[in-house]
Amino acid sequence: MLDMKILAIETSCDDTSVAVIEDGYKVLSSIVSSQVDVHSEYGGVVPEIAARTHIKNMIPVLDNALNKAKVKVEDIDIVATTQGPGLIGSLIVGVNTAKTLAYLYDKPLVALQHIEGHIYANFLEKAVGEQPQFPLVCLTASGGHTNIIYMKSHLNYEVIGDTEDDAAGEAFDKVAKMLGLGYPGGPIISELAEKGDIMAFNFPLVDLTPKPKRNSEGFLETPEESLDFSFSGLKSAVLREVKVIERESKITDQQIWDICASFQETATEILARNLMRAVSKYNPKSILLSGGVASNKVLRTKVESKLKVFDRKVKLFFPKGEYCTDNAAMIGAVAYQYSIKNKFEDYKKLMPDPNLKLK
């Protein structure tokens, strides 16, 4: 169907977002009402406050998205929403809004997983010939997730790398909190890092690759390099340094900038290293970066420069800044693929699922 319009809703965490997407990639409108100001005084998202703020914001954001796209709900072909994972109180608002619209206006309903959205942010504003090609490998690094995903075709996901503890964005947020820099940490740390020295601190480049083992005949065997992540050790190493400094005297601005630079260098090197391991192993046509951390410039530059010395034909994609962090446009891009495959939900049965896995 040409000119297919999808009304997409995303409320899994602290952003109330509604978008209207045409033909799976044209963004007619993408409205994101950020709650950062509401949560920043607490140093992180407060679930109860997030849910209440979504309720307050949803109708104005919905009206705004429809007005900006110059459409009425009647003109919409499909309603789509994030079903999970996320904060249950937040998800309930988006899912119930989508169910209500689907029921009242008799529209087909699509529900999908949040990480799918982050991956498909890379398909937005690109005509079909310019979109990422399969097979692809995608690094999704956000406040809630850090995954490497292999896709042979649309909606076909294989999680080949995962975090054992914190997500990458969470590590940025926690380090920022330790340094008293506010929330969310990623953008603040990357800004202050520009004034710091990446060599000032030697934080651990945590690698979950097992140690070499001997086989039954006693020969040493090199284990396969791990694609998984762990950020809690890195976070603790930063905390230790902060404590050592503060035992002597108050931490200086220059020391804060140096910690930001050294931490960012280490965290992004870990992400880029594992992504390149996945590229070597899976030989994709496209590499995608996605999620809030994908807007980090050092990460982008690292991946670009590692690819230059890599003798393979592979194209790198990353979303525009506004589509890296949570937004509903990316949900509309996935929903388009769901509609092609006729994967619709019954509005009477659909429930939010805070632990929904990528299938």
Chain residues binding ligand KG4 by CB under 6 A are 13, 142-144, 169-170, 172-173, 184-187, 190, 291-293, 295-296, 325-326
Which residues are within 8 A (CB) of 256 and not within 5 positions of it... i.e. 6 or more apart?
A: 179, 181, 192, 196
Of 66 and 87, nearer to Zn ion (C-beta) is 87
172 binds, among Zn ion, ligand KG4, none (CB under 5 to 8 A by kind): ligand KG4
266 binds, among Zn ion, ligand KG4, none (CB under 5 to 8 A by kind): none
C-alpha distance from residue 58 to each of 32, 157, 202, 220, 332 (Å)? 10, 31, 45, 59, 17
Instruction: Give the span between the Cα atoms of 95 and 236, in whole angstroms.
Output: 37
Residue 161 belongs to what H/E stretch? strand 157-161
Q: How far is the CB of 326 from Zn ion (least distance, A)?
A: 4
Q: How far is the CB of 319 from Zn ion (least distance, A)?
A: 12
Of 257 and 282, nearer to ligand KG4 (C-beta) is 257
DSSP letter string, 293-323: GGG-HHHHHHHHHHHHTS-S--EEE---HHH
147 binds, among ligand KG4, Zn ion, none (CB under 5 to 8 A by kind): none
Instruction: Give the span between the Cα atoms of 132 and 33, in whole angstroms.
Output: 28
Q: How far is the CB of 211 from ligand KG4 (least distance, A)?
A: 31
Does residue number 14 form part of the binding site for Zn ion (CB under 5 A)? no
Which residues are within 8 A (CB) of 106 and not within 5 positions of it... i.e. 6 or more apart?
A: none
185 binds, among ligand KG4, Zn ion, none (CB under 5 to 8 A by kind): ligand KG4
Tokens standing for residue 87: 């904060």
Does residue number 241 form part of the binding site for Zn ion (CB under 5 A)? no
Considering only residues 315-354, where is the footprint of Zn ion by CB under 5 A? 326
332 binds, among Zn ion, ligand KG4, none (CB under 5 to 8 A by kind): none
Of 326 and 345, nearer to ligand KG4 (C-beta) is 326
Does residue number 142 form part of the binding site for Zn ion (CB under 5 A)? yes
Among 131, 191, 179, 57, residue whose Cα is nearest residue 319: 131
Does residue number 286 form part of the binding site for Zn ion (CB under 5 A)? no
Of 90 and 266, nearer to Zn ion (C-beta) is 90
C-alpha distance from residue 246 to each of 74, 199, 240, 286, 314 (Å)? 61, 20, 10, 46, 46
Residue 204: other Cβ atoms inside 10 A: 12
Q: How far is the CB of 118 from Zn ion (least distance, A)?
A: 6
Of 24 and 291, nearer to Zn ion (C-beta) is 291
What is the residue type of 337?
Answer: Q
296 binds, among Zn ion, ligand KG4, none (CB under 5 to 8 A by kind): ligand KG4
Q: How far is the CB of 21 from Zn ion (least distance, A)?
A: 17
Of 14 and 345, nearer to Zn ion (C-beta) is 14
Q: What HEC string does 213-279 produce?
A: EECCCCCEECCCCCCCECCHHHHHHHHHHHHHHHHHCCCCHHHHHHHHHHHHHHHHHHHHHHHHHHH
Of 142 and 255, nearer to ligand KG4 (C-beta) is 142
Residue 84's φ and ψ, nearest 5 degrees, are: 170, 180
Of 101 and 115, nearer to ligand KG4 (C-beta) is 115
Q: How far is the CB of 168 from ligand KG4 (least distance, A)?
A: 7
Per CB under 5 A, residues contacting Zn ion are 142, 326
